[in-house]
Structure 1
Amino acid sequence: MSHPAPRPIEPLPVVELVDGYVRKALHDADAYSNVELLDESGVFSLHRVAAEIYALGFRDGEDAQSRRHDHERMRTTMRQEQADRAAATEKGGQP
């Protein structure tokens, strides 16, 4: 039996942000006639999309960190090659 993929869960600050938005919408619905209330299904959907956006950002951050690490390794290699060439030139060898 296959299980559905786990649903991403947003971190607490994102939960608070979404729930604050919902509370404001509930408050605004009393004050303005053009504001529609979100039912619990709508609130759930809002949390779900917030979790998915957060997960995308998290993965993007991981990818960016990996890229930075790759570039750091490349720079380290280049610096070492430059130092090796300079040392060879000092000893009278060919660069």
Structure 2
Amino acid sequence: MKQNTELPYKGHRKRIKEKYINNGLTGWHEYEILEYALTFAIPRKDTKPLAKTLLNEFKTINGVLDAGPDNLKHIKGISEHTALFLSFL
């Protein structure tokens, strides 16, 4: 019997992109919006846990975007590149 060894998030980026194409941001949770934005700065990694960590720390998407690169870089998993990207938004 073949064992299913696929990662549970395999294809998740494609699904979230299709969700955006089909519906825009209507009905999205804040963490999903941030998760999708992070996919543009962080290749080949599940960004949902990081999105939730950022929202836990900065409370809202606006809080994350207004935090500034120096504050963002203190979060584990946020590189300078990602911090600059989020600040740019």
Output the TM-score relative to the length of structure 2: 0.23
Output the TM-score relative to the length of structure 1: 0.22
More helix by share: 1
Q: Which has the higher contact order (CA 8 A, sep 6+)?
A: 1
